[in-house]
Structure formats: structure tokens, C-alpha cells
Structure 1
Amino acid sequence: MADPKENPFLDDPEAMEEEFDLDAAMEEEPDGPPERASDRARAQLEAVTAERDELRDRLMRSLAEAENVRKRAARDRSEAEQYGGSKLARDLLPVYDNLSRALDAAGEEKTAITEGIELTMKELVGVFAKHGVTLVAPQTGDKFDPQVHQAMFEAPLPNTKAGEIIQVAAVGFKLHDRLLRPAQVGVSSTPA
């Protein structure tokens, strides 16, 4: 019987691919009838082949899983970079609203305070733009879009079509392609 330390399958993985020499295996086991040695050699070959196939299958599955994990990590990292600041941006939206209300309350009168508020608002909008936050600012007469607008009320208004925006209560915001807050609008319910 051959020394197991000299097994070509363990030393050379490519030897597993080579054809198994049945005559050589029968010569290695002279004790016992040739039929039993042949059966044992076939059984051994089948066992080794089955183990090889199982290991190859496990290797391929492990490689595929590792690739999936890598892709998932890259996608998660990209989303974290792009949308990681959404909570902070959402928390800053009331600041924009308050500055906007302050400018509306000041009216047309230009004072040092209103100029300071305007500059602060421009700076805030610039910071928003730098980080991918954009305004959703519909105009009166635009078509209502439920994807980016929130209807606060419906009212029949002459000379308008149903579904037209008749009043803008608050602007909305997007972070890249995700909606942070819909624009709050009034919508006409005048029948066509």
C-alpha cells in the first residue's frame, strides 16, 4: 500500500484532474482478490472526486459571497457619503423658514437688519447647495406633483384648473434625489 504522505492529490492539486490509473492502484494492493482492489480504487476515486467537487463548490460560493459583500459595502459607503447629512439638513430647514418669515415680515423696507438676514439666508442656501440640498420652490399656476408637493388645502378658485397650485405655504427641499420635505401648497379644486 502507498505511503499516505506521498499522495499526489495532497501534494499537487492538479493531479486530481489527471486520469486515475486503475492498474497502478491494483498493483499497490496485491493482497486480496483483484476485483476487491478495483472496487476499492473506484470507491476511493469517487470519494476524492466528490470531495473535490464539494470543495470547489464551497470555494466558488465563498468567492461570490465575498464579492457581494464588497459591492454592498461600496454601495453603503456611497450612500453614507451622499445622504449621511440628511438629519442635519432636515434640522436646518426651520432656520431657513424663520429667515424667510423674517424677510416677509420686514416687507419692502431695507434696513441693516433685513440686509443681514438676506445675507445670512444667501449663505445658508449656499451651504445647502454645497452639500446637495436644493429648494423645491413651486410657483402659483404650476401643476400639483404629489412626488414633491404636499397639498395643505383645496379650494375652488375662478380662472384656474383643477390640480393647479394656487398658493405656496412653504418651499420644499431635496437632498440630491431624495425628498427631505415636500413643498406645502394650496391646490385648486375648480372643476374643468
Structure 2
Amino acid sequence: MSTTKPEEQITDEPSEDIADEPLSLDELAAEGDEIEALRAENAELKDAYVRALADAENTRKRADRDRREAETYGGSRLARDLLPVYDNLERALRQDGEEASAFDKALLEGVELTMRELLKVFEKHGITPISPQIGEKFDPQAHEAMFEAPVPNTTSGDIIQVSATGFMLHDRLLRPAQVGVSSTPQSDPDPTPEA
């Protein structure tokens, strides 16, 4: 025959091990100080936690911005290195084709096709030409003045010659257009002296 122990009952009454003595004022003050110290530590940890979350979020945003910028502008060095190729193709296309032989015309046609393909690649990667026209106003944000000369029938700041095409990479200047700019034309001195 097996004997079973009655299950122990859980009660809300304090066990005999806990003293029923009230705490002294010093003990209450010590516990209050301990609670305040724990609250202060808790507040410090919460503050450190919130700061760590903010730092992590800022780092994530900065990394995302850097990644986007690298995708957009990462090829700027290669693009700058390709600009002389564009310049040489453009010079070849400026050759006068009237005296050219059939071979020269075929060669120029090949250069023109190469130039079109290069411009398509530029467009695909966000590189756009800056092609100022003679008579436009000089823009220091997009043009580089190579020289300045007084030219009749122009106003100061008018473009009088385009030496090289400029380029933008998305919204950044890759190379300014190189231009000649009109200075204020010299006016003839007044022939009548002042009295």
C-alpha cells in the first residue's frame, strides 16, 4: 500500500521564517536610498539605450546616403577620363569634309557613329553636355572664361567663343564649358574737351 502525501497548500500568509518585526527608520531610509539609486541607474540606462538607438539610426541613414551617392557619383573619375576622348572625336568631326576623299568620308562617318554611341553611354550614366551658344551670357557656375576680349556689338559677359564643351554628372559640374567672354567694348573718347 502506498501512502500519498497531501499536497502542500500555498497561502498568502507569511511563513514562520519571515520576521514580523517592523523595519526601523534607518532600515527604511536605507531601502529608500537603494530604490532611488536603482531608479537613477535605470534612468541612466534608458538614456544610454535611447542614445545608442539614435546613433544606430544615424549610422544607418549616413550609410544609406553614402551608398546612394557612391552609386550616383562613383563613376566621376572614369567620366573625367573619357572627356578627352569626346574632345578628340569632336575635333575630328569639325574637319572640313568637302575636300575629303571617299575613304575620309567613311572614316568621318565612323567617327560620327562612335561619337553618338559615346553620347548614349554618357546619357545612360547621367552625364549631360553643357553646350553654350555664342551670344549667351557667361555663367560662372557652368562656364570657365579662358580669355576676355572687347568685341563690338556685344555687351560685357557675352560668350564670344566656345573652346570646349562642359559636362554635368547628374547635378554636379564635371567640367565647365571653356569659353571666351566679351569685355566692355572700348568707347571712343569724347572729341570735345570740357571748358
TM-score range, shorter chain: 0.7 to 0.9
Instruction: Report the CA distance between 1:28 and its aligned residue.
Output: 7.5
Gaps of 5+ in 1: 1-26
Unaligned segments of structure 2, at least 5 residues: 1-17, 188-195
> Equivalences for 1:99-178 in 2 at 5 Å?
99-108=89-98, 109=100, 111-178=105-172
CA offset digits 1:145-191 (Å, max 9, x no partner): 00000000000000001000000000000100001100000000025
- Cα deviation for residue 38 of structure 1 reads 1.2
Q: In 2, distance between residues paired with 1:30 and 1:43? A: 21
User: Which residue type is aligned with residue 183 of structure 1?
Assistant: A
Q: What's the C-alpha RMSD, in Å, of the aligned pairs?
A: 1.9
**Which protein is bigger by CA-based radius of gyration?**
2
Per-residue deviation at 1:35? 1.1
Shift of 1:111: 0.7
Which stretch has the larger CA shift, 106-115 or 89-98?
A: 106-115
2:48 is aligned with 1:58: yes
Q: Percent identity?
A: 62
TM-score, length of structure 2 as denominator length: 0.80
Q: CA deviation at 1:98?
A: 0.4
Q: What is the TM-score normalised by the length of structure 1? A: 0.81
CA distance in 1, matches of 2:184, 2:120: 39
The secondary structure found in structure 2 opposite 1:111 is helix
Higher normalized helix content (fraction of residues): 1
Q: How many residues align?
A: 165
Q: SS of 2:95's equivalent?
A: helix
